[in-house]
Amino acid sequence: MAENTPDARAVSLSEWQALCLPEPLTRPPVPVNRDDTAVMMFTSGTTGEPKGAIITHNNLLCAIDAYTQN
């Protein structure tokens, strides 16, 4: 492959990241309400019409809390 790409050079992962990501990745804070949607889960519909369920942040937090209590 080297003979087919004479101008190419090897680059370390850290060098590649510095070239591609000159600034650290940051996300602006987004206000989230407990009743906001966190996840939407769907069935495949193999036994009929596909169905979806909306899981709120509160549902997710309660499930995690219950799981960690046991």
With bands split at pLDDT 50, 70 and 90, how would you rate the model's confidence at 2? low
The yes-or-no verdict on residue 25 having pLDDT over 60 is yes
Give the pLDDT confidence of 35-54 residue by residue, as tens digits: 999 998 888 888 888 888 89
Note the helical H segments in 1-70.
Answer: 13-20, 57-69
- Contacts of residue 52, defined as CB under 8 A and 6 or more positions apart, other chains included, come to 40, 41, 42, 43
Which residues, other chains included, contact 39 with Cβ-Cβ below 8 Å and sequence gap of 6+?
54, 55, 60
Q: How many domains does the chain have?
A: 1
pLDDT at 1 over 60: no
Q: Give the pLDDT of residue 22.
A: 63
Select the more confidently predicted residue: 4 or 56: 56
Host domain of residue 56: 2-69
Residues sharing a CB contact under 8 Å with residue 59, sequence separation 6 or more, in sequence order? 38
